[in-house]
Homo-oligomer: A and B are copies of this chain.
Amino acid sequence: MLNANDAIQSAPVFAALGDTTRLKLVSRLSDGNQHSIVQLAKGLKLSRQGVTKHLYVLKKAGMVSSKRIGRESRFTLRLRTLTRARDCLNRASAQWDETIERLKISVEN
């Protein structure tokens, strides 16, 4: 069985990803570049402050970091947090695959 305690630590990250606006932001940030808030807000149908709030959620979950440069705040995606969440799902699905294999074997025998 998947280690519950390990998995639970990823909950805030999944929660952060569980919103279409934030997924769009992550998608844009996955180009690896720094983006300002207005830049990220373009094309999203909500106010700049709405975007700011979402960015803050992502930051609180450790998924992005920001740096103030001049009059703008530049946001970057944090790879490590992303890979941790990915690994969590990898473990869960691997666990599941193993179970399937065991079931196959027991059916065959």
Contact = CB atoms under 8 A, between A and B. Distances in A.
B18 A4 contact: no
A20 B14 CA distance: 10
Contact of A23 (B4, B19, B23, B96): B4
Main secondary structure of the interface of A (DSSP, over half): helix
Contact of A20 (B11, B33, B79): B11
A95 B30 contact: yes
B15 A27 contact: no
Contacts of A95: 30-32
A28 interface: yes
Contact of A93 (B79, B98, B102): B79
A102 to B, nearest CB: 8
